[in-house]
Amino acid sequence: MPSLFARLRRAAAPGPEPTLDALHVVISRAAVQGVVSGEVGRMLQRILSLSDRPLSAVMIPQAAVVAVAASAGIGEIVDRYLQCGFSRLPVYDGTPDNIIGIIHVKELLRLWRRPAKRLTAVEFIRLPHFFPGTMTVAAALTEFRKRRISVAVVIDEYGAPQG
């Protein structure tokens, strides 16, 4: 059996990207041949089936989104991170429906204990990326790779955050 490194090298070889149908076949064969367990095969098949679903079907709903106010201090942001575990948090101005940026909490950790002027979330935000709720998961993943991002705000047809 080839080593994992050799298999990964072959998998990364340049060439046309496989179609979803081809990936389904490869996963099925891998499960039948015992390369992956049946459970892992089923999980991979379910992941592939998500690709044509809209973002609105797989996002965290707006009511459940953990966000911080633009005026929040570093301590408050770190506390929120420790409560929820999400390292990237939307930052809002006024109300949670007015997302003005995304903050990466890990950037704040190095400043958390330093005595300094009171820093707020607005000083650390990155511009948010907005995707329509009708965008497919596959299209969103492509955009994530192109833009080198890992979080986006899903909006409805009126531009209001959905999640």
User: In this structure, is residue 97 part of a structural domain?
Assistant: yes
Domain co-membership, 147 together with 75: yes
pLDDT tens profile 56-101: 988 889 999 999 999 998 888 888 999 998 989 999 999 999 999 9
Q: How confident is the model at residue 127 (pLDDT cuts 50, 70, 90)?
A: very high
| pLDDT more than 90, % of the chain | 36
Per the structure, the count of domains in the chain is 2
- How does DSSP assign the chain, residue by residue? ---HHHHHHHHT-SSPPPPHHHHHHHHHHHHHTTSS-HHHHHHHHHHHHGGGSBGGGTSPPGGG---EETT-BHHHHHHHHHHH--SEEEEESSSTTSEEEEEEHHHHHTTTTS--S--BGGGT-B---EEETTSBHHHHHHHHHHHT-S--EEE-TTS-B--
Name the average pLDDT for the chain.
Answer: 82
Domain co-membership, 149 together with 105: yes
Residue 8, pLDDT > 60, answer: no
What pLDDT was estimated at residue 4?
A: 47
Domain co-membership, 65 together with 24: no
Token pair recorded at residue 116: 């300094």
Q: Which of 52, 70, 85 is the C-terminal boundary of a domain?
A: 52
User: In this structure, is residue 163 part of a structural domain?
Assistant: no
User: In this structure, is residue 24 part of a structural domain?
Assistant: yes
> What average pLDDT score do residues 102-122 get?
74
What pLDDT was estimated at residue 130?
A: 96
pLDDT tens profile 24-54: 777 777 778 777 787 887 887 777 777 788 9
